[in-house]
Amino acid sequence: MGRPLFIRHSAAAFILLGSVFLAGCQQGATPNAGGLGAGGAQNEPIRESELRAYCPPATLRDGTAYFRTYERGSEGNPDNIVYQASIADVTRACKRGDGSMTMTVAVAGKVVPGPKGRTGTITMPIRVAAVRGDEVLYSQLFRHSVSIADTSGATQFLFTDPNVVIPGQVDRGVQLIVGYDEGPYE
């Protein structure tokens, strides 16, 4: 015997809504999307050369996806962790200009209060860098603030650097690296 009409329609509606959601996520990486898109007018067409152009992937360097803050004088003691932060995902969008490439880099993550966690604003050191071998093409260390309103669970955050400019030709030797970096600030 078949499923009741309500269940079949609910399942179809769920699948349709999921498809719309996924399509919206994929649109966010296009130059027309207005979100993370690389810019331009909303109705500006995407050229074939833009679709085929190389855009360096954003990656996390080993050991830079997690960051902990301890109470003063108690570094390394797990009972005195104020908060732990982690980067869950990184992405980028590229736009070619006059002899350079401009990238928008986005970082998504979460902050989890530790045993000594409290509400308030915390600051995390996030570095965005572009390198070609040993040559540093771009490097910026940011102080990203996140407000913690509740210590009973995780707080999600989103960080964006829309100003990554790589001069000259961008080839597959260019790496875009993102992660926590305790400094020094330049």
Q: So what's the pLDDT on residue 143? A: 94
List of E strands, the chain: 58-60, 66-70, 81-96, 100-113, 120-132, 135-148, 155-167, 174-180
Confidence of residue 35 (pLDDT cuts 50, 70, 90): very low
Mean pLDDT, residues 144-152? 92
Q: How many CB atoms lie within 10 A of CB 148?
A: 18
For 110-127, the pLDDT digits (tens) are 999 999 999 999 999 999
For 54-88, the pLDDT digits (tens) are 899 999 988 999 999 999 888 888 999 999 999 99
Q: According to the per-residue pLDDT averaged within each range, which of 70-79, 96-105, 121-130, 165-174 is highest?
A: 121-130
Q: Which residue has the higher pLDDT, 180 or 21?
A: 180
Q: So what's the pLDDT on residue 43? A: 66
Integer CA distances (angstroms), 43 to 38, 52, 93, 114, in order:
13, 20, 17, 47
Percent of the chain with pLDDT over 90: 53
Q: Which residue has the higher pLDDT, 46 or 141?
A: 141
pLDDT at residue 15 greater than cutoff 80: no
83 neighbors 110 (Cβ within 8 angstroms): no
174 neighbors 166 (Cβ within 8 angstroms): yes
Q: So what's the pLDDT on residue 168? A: 85
CATH class of 43-180: mainly beta
Give the chain's mean pLDDT.
79
Q: What ranges do the domains of the chain cover?
A: 1-30, 43-180
Q: Which residue has the higher pLDDT, 68 or 53?
A: 68
Mean pLDDT, residues 85-110? 93
Q: Of 44, 111, 53, nearest to 82 (Cα)? A: 111
